Amino acid sequence: MLSKNEVERYSRHVLIPEVGMEGQRRLKNARVLVVGAGGLGSPALMYLAAAGVGTIGVADDDVVEMSNLQRQVVHGVSDVGRLKSESAAQRLASVNPLVQVVRHDVRIDSTNALAIIDGYDIVVDGTDNFPTRYLLNDACVLLGKPDAWGSIYRFDGQASVWWARQGPCYRCVFPEPPPPGLVPSCAEGGVLGLLCAAIGSIQAAEAVKLIVGIGDPLIGRLIVHDALRQSWDVLTVRKDPGCAVCGASPTVTELVDYQDFCGMPGSSGRAAARAPVPLISARELADLLADGSSSTGLLLLDVRGPDERAIAGIPGAQPIHLDEFHSGAAVLQIPRERPVVILCRSGTRSEEAARILIEAGHPDVRNLAGGVLAWVRDVDPSQPSY
């Protein structure tokens, strides 16, 4: 039963014949887990709370940073430095104190995903990385739950509902992750903040439709949105009978190591078999640069693009884009007799570039640990972080 307070609050839902008292009661009894209180999670969380979804889980182990506020509208300036789950829970309580918010201040991984997700009816995937995306998909398949998924990059957004019981799962359509480094994250490539509202609200709407049992859920359809053209295309996607996790004879029957599956740096397995890359800290680099590159012969290379370099950088660094390492052009240009330090934003792309140089036989290559962000934090706080 809905209380008088609830009927008043949700009256504009109750007035819709397809929703009514019964639909609103279903929303009250529903449990939705939003993974990632970031760009997509922000609008999804706020609309799910406003809609009266009775129990909302927020899973995030990150803290709010100033550069999040351009799109992560569930957080405010005073939340910078706080846990995102804590900040989001407080905001949701102010949006709708009648819903219960459950915080999961952990990074969802193979050890905890099944236990956490099992307590919910639907997962809203607001993550920004491939390992967690595959993890959530596989966990939802194994538990038989729907996964309201969204993805954003620059001006492009995608959304679908993966539900192996009724249609394809994420792996049916994207069986293999892209090679690491090929698809930049929003942290590296940027994203139009407003795009989060468009895609995150689709995810929340799909969750609400599934709960109330109305309309045609986005199962077996993939929305592809281009904010610059303001185009919305809908592709039909089908279940793959040979899918590794939801197919007729699955090879994935439990959660695996998704860092390894996606070939991420720092993971065990296939990535670790590649050449190790020596590191240099920002402070060590500052000391080296203070000695003067004429004495050390140090060559400092920045593999980021011009827009990133315009935000923050290290004096004396020469721009040479990661693409030039992939094409082989960089290997030809960089003299072998000079020691090399490579940098990017956080140290991932520069690790890739350094590895290419090392595997090409360069004897003295180091990766700036933590990238230019570490430099800004430890050496030159006058520059902006991003």
Catalytic residues, which ones? 186, 344
The pair phi, psi for residue 224, each rounded to 5°, is -125, 115
Q: Site for Zn ion (CB under 5 A): which residue of 171, 321, 355, 362?
A: 171
- 215 to 254: interface string for Zn ion, x by CB under 5 A: ----------------------------x--x--------
Minimum Å distance from CB 40 to Zn ion? Answer: 22
133 binds Zn ion (CB under 5 A): no
145 binds Zn ion (CB under 5 A): no
Which residues inside 329-368 make contact with Zn ion, applying CB under 5 A? none
173 binds Zn ion (CB under 5 A): no
Read off the tokens for 175. 């069986």
Stretch that binds Zn ion, among 102-110, 163-171, 193-201, 277-285 (CB under 5 A): 163-171
104 binds Zn ion (CB under 5 A): no
Amino acid residing at 323: D
Closest-approach residue to Zn ion (CB):
243
How many angstroms separate the CA atoms of 192 and 197, rounded?
10
Task: Give residues with Cβ within 8 angstroms of 223, minimum separation 6.
Answer: 157, 158, 159, 160, 202, 232, 233, 234
Q: Sheet containing 340-343: which strands, arranged edge to edge?
A: 279-280, 365-368, 340-343, 299-302, 318-319
Is the CB of 64 or the CB of 117 nearer to Zn ion? Answer: 117
172 binds Zn ion (CB under 5 A): yes
Is the CB of 238 or the CB of 283 nearer to Zn ion? Answer: 238
Minimum Å distance from CB 239 to Zn ion? Answer: 6
b/e code 347-360 from CB counts within 10 Å (16+ = b)? bbbbbbbbbbbbee
Is the CB of 47 or the CB of 134 nearer to Zn ion? Answer: 134
* Distance set, CA 358 to CA 127, 318, 342 (Å): 33, 19, 12
Minimum Å distance from CB 138 to Zn ion? Answer: 9
Neighbours of 325 (CB within 10 A): 25
Q: Site for Zn ion (CB under 5 A): which residue of 169, 218, 320, 344?
A: 169
Is the CB of 105 or the CB of 240 nearer to Zn ion? Answer: 240
140 binds Zn ion (CB under 5 A): no
Is the CB of 81 or the CB of 175 nearer to Zn ion? Answer: 175
Minimum Å distance from CB 219 to Zn ion? Answer: 12
- In terms of phi and psi (left: phi > 0; alpha: psi -120 to 50; beta: otherwise), the region of 213 is left
Is the CB of 88 or the CB of 244 nearer to Zn ion? Answer: 244
Minimum Å distance from CB 242 to Zn ion? Answer: 9
Of 293, 335, 297, 342, the C-alpha closest to 321 is 342
Read off the tokens for 228. 């610059």
Radius of gyration of the chain (CA): 23
Stretch that binds Zn ion, among 39-47, 100-108, 167-175, 317-325 (CB under 5 A): 167-175
Q: Total number of residues binding Zn ion (CB under 5 A)?
A: 5
How many angstroms separate the CA atoms of 48 and 11, rounded?
16
How many angstroms separate the CA atoms of 24 and 99, rounded?
13
Residues found near Zn ion in the complex (CB under 5 A) = 169, 171-172, 243, 246
